[in-house]
Amino acid sequence: MPTDTPQPSFVLVRPQMGENIGAAARGMWNFGLDRMRVTAPRDGWPNEKAVAMASGAGRLLDEAQLYPTTAEAVADCSYVYATTARMRGLTKPVFSPEAAMADAARRIGQGERVAVLFGPERAGLENDDVARANAIISVPVNPAFSSLNLAQCVLLTAYEWRRATSEIAHETTEMAGAVWADQAEIDALSRHYEERLDKAGFFFPEHKADPMKRNLRNLWSRLPLTRADVQTLHGVLRQMVRWKDRSG
């Protein structure tokens, strides 16, 4: 059974190749979507090539709803987006994929049923299909090569749905068991280096010593040091001092 997660239905309109239907299913399931509708697939339904390409997302194909026409596929929906690279002389709101899925999330949150139309591989959606939609999703592709594969378009839209409805960590650091050094540890490291560098005559001439020490402390503060990093840097300095004492 489909999940209970509120989400748009992705409608594949007259898809031609089973492989692309299967790849679209994988793209949907990658981002937690499982409401696929298929209208008049060229090579019939069910489709063995679609199942083979879907791999672990075969459940979506088993549960996909089959319709003879676009009108019937979206009959129960209150808002429909049509993905197309071409403007077709129809006056409609035009969304980027990101804005469209944010809008879809808002509508679905208010209880609306939403669908997204994806056209067949060769020529995309026809004007009659687009005319049934409330808005257009236009992908900002290279104008000299604007054709998107069906599965690519589904994947891109599904990704934007995930972004619109999930907390996305845009940048993280894999700590691998480490912990960040605290300010006391950074301060101790800074004082250790200042003391040793002072004895080595690094802070010269004397009237520039304070700015040099301040710059050194600023350097430590900019580095994202873990506790293990700090311990390593202490060890490096101790070993250098021992080596100097032995060689001297």
User: What's the CATH code of the domain at 98?
Assistant: 3.40.1280.10
Residue 138, phi-psi category: left (phi > 0), alpha (psi -120 to 50), beta (remainder): beta
pLDDT in tens, 23-54: 999 999 999 999 999 999 999 998 999 999 99
Work out the percent of the chain whose per-residue pLDDT is above 70: 96
| Domain presence at residue 130 | yes
- What is the share, in percent, of the chain residues with pLDDT greater than 90? 70
Task: Please tell me whether residues 27 and 146 are part of one structural domain.
Answer: yes
Q: Within this chain, do residues 105 and 220 fall inside the same structural domain, yes or no?
A: no
204 and 146 both lie in a single domain: no
Asked whether residue 140 is domain-assigned, the answer is yes
Phi and psi angles of residue 70, each rounded to the nearest 5 degrees, phi first:
-65, -40
Average pLDDT, the chain: 91
Q: What would the DSSP string read from start to end of 173-223?
A: ---TT--B--HHHHHHHHHHHHHHHHHTT-S-SGGGHHHHHHHHHHHHHHS
In a domain, 159, yes or no: yes
Confidence label for 243 from pLDDT (cuts 50, 70 and 90): confident
Segment 192-196 mean pLDDT: 94
CA–CA gap between residue 91 and residue 98 (Å, rounded): 21
Query: What is the mean pLDDT of the segment spanning 56-74?
Result: 94
Count: domains in the chain: 2
> Both tokens of residue 17?
């190749």
Phi, psi for residue 134 in degrees, rounded to 5: -85, -25
**Which runs of consecutive H residues, i.e. helices, occur in the chain?**
18-30, 48-54, 58-63, 70-73, 97-109, 127-131, 150-165, 183-199, 209-222, 227-247
Alpha carbon dihedral 228, 232, 238, 242, in 10-degree steps, equals 140
For residue 128, report the phi and psi dihedrals to the nearest 5 degrees: -65, -35
HSE value, Cβ hemisphere, 13 Å, CA-based, for 104: 32
Note down the domain range covering 200: 183-247
pLDDT at 4: 81
Distance CA 88, CA 91 (A): 9
Cβ atoms 54, 61 nearer than 8 A:
yes
Residues 80 and 155 in one domain: yes
Mean pLDDT on 1-13: 88
pLDDT of residue 53: 93
Confidence check: pLDDT of 245 > 80: no
The conformational region for residue 188 under phi > 0 = left, psi -120 to 50 = alpha, else beta, is alpha
Is the pLDDT reported for residue 15 higher than 90? yes
Is 98 found in the same domain as 217?
A: no
| Comparison of pLDDT for 55 and 232, the residue scoring more | 232
pLDDT at 123: 80
Termini Cα distance of the chain: 78
d(CA 11, CA 65): 9
pLDDT class of 1 with cuts at 50, 70, 90: low
Band of residue 88 on the pLDDT scale cut at 50, 70, 90: low
This prediction has a pTM of: 0.75
Q: pLDDT tier at 212 (50, 70, 90 boundaries)?
A: very high
Q: Which of 185, 227, 232, 210 is nearest to 240 (CA)?
A: 232
Task: For residues 154 and 35, state if they share a domain.
Answer: yes
Q: Is residue 176 part of a domain?
A: no
224 upstream amide cis, omega within 30 of 0: no
